[in-house]
């Protein structure tokens, strides 16, 4: 079966391991279209050609780069006409122009189509996006939802077609793995990592909690964005500036080593009226590296962590302090949670499992069409 996937997310080298895993199936002939780069508030995401074996990676121009609702691929119609895929996999939300464009092209070329969504909060969009969204929901042959809440959102919006709940990406446990050793004599290392430093990620809460901790510790913060200066100022105001290191955006290929030197990874996300945590990919990456994880109860975080980490009520500083204290004081607990985290990743969140589930969707679509 010929599969054409369109995905700006697959610019990231670590994410391409899923593509290699999909392409390993003998009945799959996979072509993936990505833009040359993607620009967002945290900076430009360049194309990383890290894992490109077994499938074709095409780099096509993208218009309105950085605009989630408006971006589209001007060559996509010609690509559909030349490749003639059985299935167009739009790795995009159903409310944006690229998805609407892709599904129209798929219908014209006789291909089946599916979209992907993380959207876990019900939003109403203005015209013309509301019209495009409605048409996508009516025309798509299948949907992949990244979390359970997204299923409810799109059912409420009128999607009546078949769907599967599959994370957009898993992790490669051969890339994200525990370090050979951790120096037990060093300071206790608390980490936070992601692309964007924004209020909803709750890094300010982490700093306020860390300021209450006794002993020898340090905080490393990966990411950049509009909150960085205010977070640096907050660290100084809390008199912990010399213990907090801002590392900027960590390239995906460096992330395994970055996570491997942490004792605990904290994701203190807070729900806002227009946002709640959709998955928290950094959690499964840290769990694969056997770092203990602590997360708030925002959105999908508790479902991702399960019983392999610690959960605290979002925006509750004292509860976060107590989680961190328990891990600082109890090395055995850290070790047990680290091992439990990797075990959970191996059971549910590897790229191989995500790929297998995705290929099952492709097969189901074609079987229903024949």
Kindly provide the residue ranges of all beta strands, DSSP E only, lying in 182-322, ordered along the sequence: 188-192, 217-222, 244-248, 264-267, 292-296, 310-312
What is the per-residue pLDDT for 184?
65
Orientation of helix 331-348 relative to helix 281-288, angle to 10° = 110
What is the per-residue pLDDT for 14?
84
Give the residue from 340, 289, 288 showing the smallest Cα distance to 310: 340
Inside any domain, residue 179: no
> Does 338 share its domain with 217?
yes
| Beta-sheet strand order (sheet of 112-117) | 56-59, 29-34, 2-6, 87-90, 112-117, 142-145, 163-165
> Does 78 share its domain with 109?
yes
What is the per-residue pLDDT for 369?
78
What is the per-residue pLDDT for 40?
76
> Does 25 share its domain with 73?
yes
User: What is the Cβ-side half-sphere exposure of residue 92, based on CA atoms within 13 angstroms?
Assistant: 29
Around Cβ 77, how many Cβ atoms within 10 Å?
16
3-state secondary structure of 91: coil
Helix (H) or strand (E) holding 31: strand 29-34
Inside any domain, residue 106: yes
Tens-level pLDDT at each residue, the chain (370 residues)? 999 999 999 999 889 999 999 999 999 999 999 999 999 766 788 999 989 999 999 999 999 998 989 999 999 999 999 999 999 999 999 999 999 999 999 999 999 999 999 988 888 888 888 999 999 999 999 999 998 889 999 999 999 999 999 999 899 999 999 998 766 667 899 999 988 899 999 999 999 999 999 999 999 999 998 899 999 999 999 999 999 999 999 988 899 999 999 999 999 999 998 888 989 899 999 999 999 999 999 999 999 999 999 999 999 999 999 999 999 999 999 999 999 999 999 999 999 999 999 999 999 999 997 7
> Does 247 share its domain with 311?
yes
Around Cβ 268, how many Cβ atoms within 10 Å?
26
Phi, psi (deg, nearest 5) at residue 260: -65, -20
Residue 321: exposure state from Cβ atoms within 10 A (0-12, 13-18, ≥19): middle
Q: Write down the residue that tokens 């019983």 correspond to.
A: 307
> Does 7 share its domain with 145?
yes
> Does 130 share its domain with 206?
no
Beta bridge partners of 293: 265
Give the residue from 41, 42, 29, 35 showing the smallest Cα distance to 12: 35
Phi, psi (deg, nearest 5) at residue 283: -65, -50
Q: What DSSP string runs through 286-329?
A: HHHTT-EEEEESSTTHHHHHTTSSEEE-TT-HHHHHHHHHHHHH
Inside any domain, residue 243: yes
Assign residue 263 the CATH number of its domain.
Answer: 3.40.50.2000
Inside any domain, residue 88: yes
Q: For the whole model, what pTM was predicted?
A: 0.85
Give the residue numbers spanning the domain of 249.
188-348
> Does 45 share its domain with 78?
yes
Euclidean distance between the first and the last CA atom of the chain, given in angstroms as a whole number: 13
> Does 342 share its domain with 358?
no
Q: Residues 6 or more apart from 278 whose CB is under 8 A from it?
A: 118, 119, 120, 146, 147, 150, 299, 300
> Does 210 share its domain with 284?
yes
> Does 214 share its domain with 321?
yes
For the chain, helix (H) and strand (E) counts, in that order, are 13, 15
Inside any domain, residue 183: no
Give the residue from 277, 283, 296, 269 showing the smallest Cα distance to 349: 283
Please count the structural domains in the chain: 2
Inside any domain, residue 181: no
Inside any domain, residue 182: no
> Does 147 share its domain with 208?
no
**DSSP label at 175?**
T
Give CA 359 to chain center in angstroms. Answer: 19
> Does 194 share its domain with 54?
no
Helix (H) or strand (E) holding 81: helix 76-83
Give CA 300 to chain center in angstroms. Answer: 12
The dihedral over CA atoms of 256, 206, 304, 166, expressed in degrees to the nearest 10, equals -70
Own/partner contacts of 208-214, CB < 8 Å, gap of 24 or more, are 208/234, 208/238, 208/317, 209/268, 209/317, 209/320, 209/321, 209/324, 210/238, 210/240, 210/243, 210/244, 210/324, 211/238, 211/239, 211/240, 212/317, 212/321, 213/321, 213/324, 213/325, 213/328
Inside any domain, residue 220: yes
């Amino acid at each position: 079966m010929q599969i054409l996937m369109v995905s700006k997310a697959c610019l990231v080298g670590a994410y391409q391991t899923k593509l290699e895993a999909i392409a390993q199936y003998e009945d799959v002939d996979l072509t993936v279209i990505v833009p040359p780069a993607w620009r967002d508030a945290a900076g430009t995401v360049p194309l990383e050609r890290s894992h490109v074996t077994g499938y074709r990676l095409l780099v096509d121009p993208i218009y309105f780069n950085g605009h989630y609702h408006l971006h589209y691929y001007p060559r996509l119609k010609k690509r559909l006409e030349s490749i003639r895929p059985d299935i167009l996999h739009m790795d995009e939300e159903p409310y944006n122009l690229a998805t609407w464009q892709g599904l129209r092209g798929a219908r014209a070329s006789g291909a089946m189509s599916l979209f992907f969504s993380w959207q876990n909060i019900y939003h109403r969009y203005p015209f013309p996006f509301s019209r495009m969204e409605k048409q996508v929901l009516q025309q798509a042959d299948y949907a992949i939802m990244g979390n359970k809440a997204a299923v409810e959102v799109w059912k409420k919006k009128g999607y009546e077609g078949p769907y599967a709940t599959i994370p957009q990406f898993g992790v490669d446990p051969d890339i994200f793995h525990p370090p050979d050793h951790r120096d037990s004599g060093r300071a206790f290392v608390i980490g936070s990592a992601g692309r964007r430093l924004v209020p909803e990620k709750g890094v300010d809460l982490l700093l306020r909690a860390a300021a209450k901790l006794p002993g020898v510790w340090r905080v490393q913060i990966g990411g950049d964005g509009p909150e960085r200066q205010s977070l640096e100022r907050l660290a100084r105001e809390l008199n912990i500036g010399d213990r907090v290191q801002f590392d900027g955006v960590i390239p995906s290929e460096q992330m395994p080593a970055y996570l491997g030197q942490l004792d605990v990874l904290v994701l203190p996300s807070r729900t806002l009226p227009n946002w709640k945590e959709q998955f928290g990919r950094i959690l499964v990456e840290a769990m694969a590296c056997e770092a203990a994880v602590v997360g708030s109860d925002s959105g999908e975080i508790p479902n991702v962590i399960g019983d392999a980490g610690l959960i605290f009520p979002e925006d509750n500083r004292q509860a976060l302090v107590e989680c961190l204290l328990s891990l600082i004081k109890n090395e055995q607990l850290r070790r047990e949670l680290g091992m439990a985290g990797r075990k959970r990743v191996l059971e549910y969140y590897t790229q191989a499992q995500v790929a297998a589930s995705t290929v099952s969707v492709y097969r189901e679509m074609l079987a229903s069409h024949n």
